[in-house]
Amino acid sequence: MLIAVLAGFASGIISGMGIGGGTILIPVLVFVLHIDQHIAQSINLLYFIPTAIIALIVHIKNKRIDFKLAMTIVVFGILGAVLGSHFAVSLPSGLLKKMFGIFLFSMGIYETFRKPPAVKKAE
């Protein structure tokens, strides 16, 4: 139970920063708590709702959201979520776990080697 509490807390911090708490939560659920990959990803989606609402409130309050861009992304994100969910439930758990691992590894490599954006100098 303590591991679940710590995983929830750590992934909440990362979610609030906009990074994605599932990068911590799903591996902990699968590898430490031995939850099936499909269940772990479902728990992550359920967990995401309240943490996303809180983070959204904070970012709106700080005027850090481009609503026009966000609405475009939301519409197509919903479409992608419907298609992706139907695809994910049809996959064996082992394959889904490997695909998630490849995704996390690829993102890690990308983040490790990407160049930071140029900082604009104040005039």
pTM for this model (two decimals): 0.73
Going from the C-alpha of 72 to that of each of 45, 61, 64, the distances in angstroms are 21, 21, 16
Q: Mean pLDDT score of the chain, rounded to an integer?
A: 90
The tokens of 65 are what?
A: 């959201």
Domain positions in the chain: 2-113
More confident residue, 56 or 19: 56
- Give the rounded percent of residues in the chain with a pLDDT score beyond 70: 98
Q: pLDDT category, 10, cuts 50, 70, 90?
A: very high
